[in-house]
Structure 1
Amino acid sequence: MTIDRRAIGSLKGVAVDVAGWDGVGAAVDLSCVCMFEREMPGTSIAGGLLHLDVALGGALSRLRTETVFRAKDMDFLVLDQLPAEIGSAAVLIIGLGDPLAWTPSVMERSVMLAAGIAHERRVASVAFAPSLLDSGIKATGDTPAAMLGGLNSALRRLERTATLELASRPPLRSWTFDAGIAHLDGAEAQFRAALTVIEPQA
């Protein structure tokens, strides 16, 4: 299957793109998916998040129901024993907390967390699915900028600690933001505009 993957630019030597896949189809070292404590009122789990839950035999929603993984703000869960259907070597589930309290800054922090965990696991490629629509959240226009800002901050921190010889240099080479096929054009334009502000020469 051919995946529509569109280059956006780069941050601190890391190639950034958007792709029309989800947490199941992402062919990367680490696929990151976000999840709230519950879905928005009147909605149920959908889209890529539902696709992942089905691929895991319902384990993701079951873990939340059992309060083993509550998806509290910045809580996380790493899964690395995965069915063959899932394209990544490991899946990181990041909790976003209460959906009614969501703001774009939550996404900034979640991307920073994902980048830190990616560094700890020494991975070269990451995909990040915000899973907002999947949980009934209508993202605001500045959400891509918040996510890119989080990635930029995390990479600056990793780069600086490496130059001070306090940490090893990150092996990360590519970062993909997942977007549904129907939203790919809009996502590409928003991320490209946001990256131009952060890295004018990108």
Structure 2
Amino acid sequence: MKKLVIVHAGLSRPSSTGMLAEEIAHAVEAQVTNRGEGLEIGSVAVVELGRELATLMSTGVYGEALRAAIDEVCRADALVLATPVFNASYSGLFKMFIDALDKDGLTRVPVVIAATAGTPRHALVLEHAMRPLLSYLRAIVMPTAVFAATEDFGAREDLRRRVHRAAQELAGYLVDVRQAVAGFVPEEEDVAPRKANRVTDVDAGITDFRELLRGHDGNGRP
């Protein structure tokens, strides 16, 4: 049986960041189960390691709880990493935990990244901050990242679809990498009909560009 570990840096109890990460993890579990496999889920709440992380950063000494959490992460077959947004990036607490890992600890580990914030204006944190960080550490970051603003927890259907897609990607990678073309095999409900984009599909009311240039020598003079 493979193991999925949640790592979240939510501060409150209960934490919306933690709840989002758990929702993703249980969606992955459902997808893996549908493929005939089992999945064990573990969890690391980084807020509980704050004192030991501060000690590590100032003295280089690992506490027992921190070392156990790191071992849990390093033994995982896959991860869900979630952070609240602080000052338009991942939180300092989240980064401290990532910094505590061995530099090769996430190499080739499939990961779903997620973030929460009070406003959708922070949605790109996942792409300009978290994805580059995990790519630098050579993790295999799934194509779909899950962002949830406060208002998204009220619009459950939109959030559910994002969670479902990310879970599909990670489950496909866990069960059979060949099924996970670039990490994702879409189901019909996730794919919008593709519109034709052929050169011949030109609105008849638009003047042909060659006609617009007729009589000009290319120097702006007729």
Q: TM-score range by the shorter chain?
A: 0.3 to 0.5
Instruction: Tell which structure's C-alpha radius of gyration is larger.
Output: 2
Higher relative contact order (CA 8 A, sep 6+): 1
- The TM-score, its normalising length taken from structure 1, stands at 0.35
Whichever structure has more helix as a proportion of its residues is 2
